[in-house]
Each structure stands twice: as C-alpha cells, then as structure tokens.
C-alpha cells in the first residue's frame, strides 16, 4: 500500500484524519464531532483491543484501529445509543469495534490505487503481527479524552 | 412498508433499522445475502432492501443480481448501504440493479433523503 497512498500528497491535510472525523461524527457523536488529533506523548494502551480490515489488490494493506477495552465499550454504547450504565455484550463489543474499522478501512480503500476488495473485519485482543518498516501512517486520536489509534500498514 | 436490512454487522443492522423505524418502516434483518434470499424465498414480502456489500457467504452485489433475476421481486427497491465508495463500485451496483447507493458513514438525514428520492418516504411539508 505504501506506493499507493502518499499522505504528503494531500497538501498538508491528513486524509485519514478527515475520514476518522467523518466516521465518528456521522456514526457515533453527531455534529460537531468529538474526535481530535491526540496532542502530546502517546501513552501505551492497556487492556488493548484491535480491529482491522485488509485491502486486497496490487498494493495490499491493512487498516488497524486500536484502543483500550473500556474505550471500545464506550464506542459500542455510543454507536448503539446505549446509556453509560448499560452492559455491552461481548458480541456487540467485537461487532462495534469491527464496524468502526470496517467503515474507516472502506473509506481508506478509496484512497488506494486500483483496490480490488476489502476483507471482512477481524477483532482481537492481540495486536496483529506487523513489521515496523511496514507502517505507512499512524494517527493517534483523542476521542472524549481517550486514545484511539488508526494505523495504515503495508502487507508483504 | 417493510424493509429488509442485510448486513453482517449486527450493530450496523440495528443502526440502519433504527434509522428506518421512525420513517415508518417495519424491519426484518439478515446477516448475509444468502440468508436474505432465504427470507424472500420463504415468502417474506418487503418493499425495500438495504444491502451491505462485503458480507460472508453471499455478498451484496450477488444478492442484488439474484433479486433482479427473479421477476417475482421486481417491485422490491434495492439500496446499497456500504463502505465501498469508489466510482467503479457504485456503477457496478447500479448496473446490477440497485436503485440507490449510500456510503458509510451515513447520517439519518442521508437515508431519509435517498428514500424520499425513491418515493418511499414522503417529502417533508414546508413549514
């Protein structure tokens, strides 16, 4: 994917940030949106959850959304219009984080030259195996004060 | 009016159904195109199908093609609701027989506007 997306070609704007803002505003928060670029040092995630989708084609890549399980639960509550005290089932938790990755990934796919297909979302507590040299773009986001990371990776 | 919401994400099905219900739709749900076809073949009658593209078992494009190939379902309105946003994909879906196309993420207003264009929801009266 690295030769298919050149973030620097977007004239100082980050297309992935624009996609993330649109996804969170439309699906989760409503206008004016509550997701911002993370400022300051990015802390390590505890009790991690990861969701990713793969873009197949001549420039295969992966769009990875990572956050903490508690944040993922709040994302699911917001997506489903649930109250802060309502319990989120494991099925809804996995499904909600996967759908966030799916929608972000689907829109990132449109930035890729000649994409062929978008894979189905995968959600796991373990970060998928990646090589540091394959990281194309990392975008730490502040959602309601919590860290949500979006990463674009090339796939070998 | 009855709508069939087809998406492999249960969360997304609930979001789409939650958008359609205030517009006057009763909703039924299916987790993939094959399950949706099974519902239609069992005699469930619907006016609208909201169809995700990327699903296991049978994807949305295959579902649209199958529905359009059956004259018994010629009056069913098909609206893709998907993350697939490339122009070529939209053309493929419309060529296969989809009537409208909504790209995720969407707002409730976007769904309502499309359904108004399709004549499935009344235009709002001017204040």
What is the residue-wise DSSP string for A15-75?
A: HHHHHHHHHIIIIII-TT--EEE--SPPPPPSSEEEEEEEEESSS-EEEEEEEEHHHHHHH
Give the predicted TM-score (pTM) of the model: 0.90
Does residue A61 lie in a domain region?
yes
Confidence (pLDDT) at B92 = 93
CATH number reported for the structural domain that contains residue A116 in this entry: 3.40.1550.10
Q: What does the pLDDT average to over B26-47?
A: 97
Identify whether A29 is part of a domain: yes
Based on the structure, what is the number of domains in chain A? 1
Let me know if residue A141 belongs to a domain.
Answer: no
Given a cut of 60, whether residue A9 has pLDDT beyond it is no
Pairwise CA distance, residues B20 & A153, whole Å: 36
CB contact under 8 A, A120 and B8: yes
Choose the closest CB to A95 out of B9, B54, B82: B9
* Cα A78 to Cα A74, A96, A97, A106, A111, distances in angstroms: 6, 10, 11, 21, 27
Kindly give, in sequence order, each residue whose CB lies less than 8 Å from that of residue A54, ignoring residues fewer than 6 positions away. Answer: A60, A61, A62, A63, A118, A119, A155
- Using alpha carbons only, give the angle B1, B91, B93 rounded to the nearest 5 degrees: 40
Chain-chain contact of A103 with B104 (C-beta, under 8 angstroms):
yes
Exposure string of A104-113, with b = 16+ CB inside 10 Å and e = fewer, is bbbbbbbbbe
In a domain, A5, yes or no: no
Q: Please check whether residue A23 lies inside any domain of the structure.
A: yes
pLDDT at A2: 45
Residues of B in contact with A120 (CB under 8 A): 8, 54-56
- Asked if the model's pLDDT at residue A8 lies above 70, the reply is no
Residue A114 belongs to a domain: yes
Give the pLDDT mean for B80-109: 93
* B54 or A110, higher pLDDT: B54
Quote the domain boundaries for residue A82. Answer: 17-35+47-127
Look at residue A21 and tell me if it is in a domain: yes
Q: Is residue A133 part of a domain?
A: no
User: What's the burial of B69, exposed, middle or buried (CB within 10 Å: 0-12/13-18/19+)?
Assistant: exposed
Q: Which one of A76, A81, A103 has the shortest CB-CB distance to B83?
A: A103
């Amino acid at each position: 994917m690295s030769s298919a997306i050149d973030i620097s070609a977007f004239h100082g704007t980050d297309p992935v940030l624009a996609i993330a803002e649109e996804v969170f505003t439309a699906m989760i928060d409503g206008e004016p949106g509550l997701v911002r670029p993370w400022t300051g040092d990015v802390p390590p995630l505890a009790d991690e959850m990861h969701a990713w989708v793969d873009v197949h084609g001549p420039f295969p890549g992966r769009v990875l959304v990572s956050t903490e399980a508690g944040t993922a639960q709040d994302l699911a509550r917001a997506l489903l219009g649930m109250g802060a005290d309502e319990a989120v089932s494991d099925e809804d938790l996995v499904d909600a984080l996967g759908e966030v990755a799916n929608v972000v990934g689907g829109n990132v796919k449109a930035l890729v030259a000649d994409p062929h297909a978008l894979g189905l979302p995968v959600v796991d507590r373990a970060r998928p195996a990646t090589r540091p040299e394959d990281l194309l773009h990392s975008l730490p986001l502040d959602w309601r004060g919590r860290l949500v990371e979006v990463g674009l990776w090339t796939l070998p | 009016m009855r709508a069939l919401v087809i998406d492999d994400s249960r969360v997304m099905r609930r979001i789409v159904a939650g958008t359609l219900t205030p517009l006057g739709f009763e909703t039924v749900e299916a987790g993939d195109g094959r399950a949706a076809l099974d519902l239609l073949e069992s005699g469930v009658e619907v006016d609208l199908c909201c169809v995700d593209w990327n699903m296991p078992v049978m994807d949305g494009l295959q579902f649209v093609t199958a529905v359009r190939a059956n004259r018994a379902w010629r009056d069913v309105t098909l609206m893709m609701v998907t993350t697939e946003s490339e122009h070529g994909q939209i053309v493929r879906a419309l060529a296969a027989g989809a009537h409208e196309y909504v790209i995720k993420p969407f707002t409730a207003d976007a769904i309502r506007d499309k359904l108004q264009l399709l004549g499935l929801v009344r235009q709002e009266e001017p204040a």
